[in-house]
Amino acid sequence: MPTLRQVLTAHSPLLIIDAASAKVQVGWMGADGSANWETNDEEAGVGIFQAIDRLGVQAQEAGGFMFCEGPGSVLGIRTAAAAIRTWCALRPRVVHSYLSLALVAHGLGRPEVSVIADARRESWHRFDLNRGLARIATDELRGELITPENFRHWSTPPANVKSAPYLLSDLLPRLLNHNVFQATDAPDAFLHEDPSYARWTPHIHRAPEKRP
């Protein structure tokens, strides 16, 4: 996986979109790592485009795209991914993705800390520098726990969890030489596994048989 510095050298300016949290973040980053950022509290379908307008840039002028593929708001992430797929259909460009929890973990630089986000049904996404990403039950969480600010949750958070800022304008400049970014030709939300579907066999509806 390339470093952010390598991606910027090859594909700047980058349009960066993160809709994983309740605050949409959009950035325009140049080859030297300089960037302008906008945040928006609207839902992703509105907030992404308002932020781009406020930056005063055009998506078609981007040399490449980068987005958060999760964990986080699946609807927000898929909205960002759909927009990027549309722009790439108009003019193909390289797209890179990253994991939200990996950014926080690498930004902290503490292997003993687990960064978590709600995975619903009393389970959590967990990322740490030693073990990578996994989905585990609430009662299996151990040690020091951090969750990014403004991430929605439905399960009751562990009692000992603390919050950490999730601010790309602060995180990305500290991760220029980290290889936590992955090229993708099919931008979409991250899934731990592909969806599975039960097989259904159709039957013709018949009236109940009359008993003698």
Model pLDDT for residues 15-66, shown as the tens digit of each residue: 999 999 999 999 999 999 999 999 999 999 999 999 999 999 999 999 999 9
pLDDT level of residue 195 (50, 70, 90 thresholds) = very low
Which of 29, 31, 24 shows the shortest CA–CA distance to 9?
31
**Is the pLDDT at 208 greater than 80, yes or no?**
no
Q: What is the C-alpha radius of gyration for the chain, rounded to an integer number of angstroms?
A: 20
| pLDDT exceeds cutoff 50 at 196 | no
Determine which helix (DSSP H) or strand (DSSP E) holds 36, and give its type and residue range.
strand 35-40
Q: What whole-number distance in Å separates Cα of residue 29 and Cα of residue 34?
A: 6
CB 96, CB 183: distance < 8 Å:
yes
Going from the C-alpha of 188 to that of each of 20, 201, 212, the distances in angstroms are 12, 31, 59
CA dist 146 and 178 (Å) reads 20
pLDDT at 212 over 60: no
Q: 183 versus 204: which is more confidently predicted?
A: 183
**Residue 197: predicted pLDDT:** 44
Query: What residues contact residue 157 under an 8 Å CB cut-off, 6+ apart?
Result: 118, 147
Confidence of residue 1 (pLDDT cuts 50, 70, 90): confident
Q: Is the pLDDT of residue 202 over 90?
A: no
pLDDT tens sequence across 72-116: 999 999 999 999 999 999 999 999 999 999 999 999 999 999 999
Coil, strand or helix at 110: coil
Torsion of CA 121, 137, 97, 9, to 10 degrees: 150
Contact between residue 66 and residue 168 where contact means Cβ atoms under 8 Å apart? no
Confidence of residue 121 (pLDDT cuts 50, 70, 90): confident
pLDDT at 211 over 80: no
Spatial contact of 178 and 6, defined as CB atoms under 8 Å apart: no
Q: Which has the closest alpha carbon to 133: 117, 148, 149?
A: 117
Rounded alpha-carbon distances, angstroms, from residue 141 to 20, 73, 148: 22, 21, 16
Closest CA to 151 of 172, 175, 127: 127
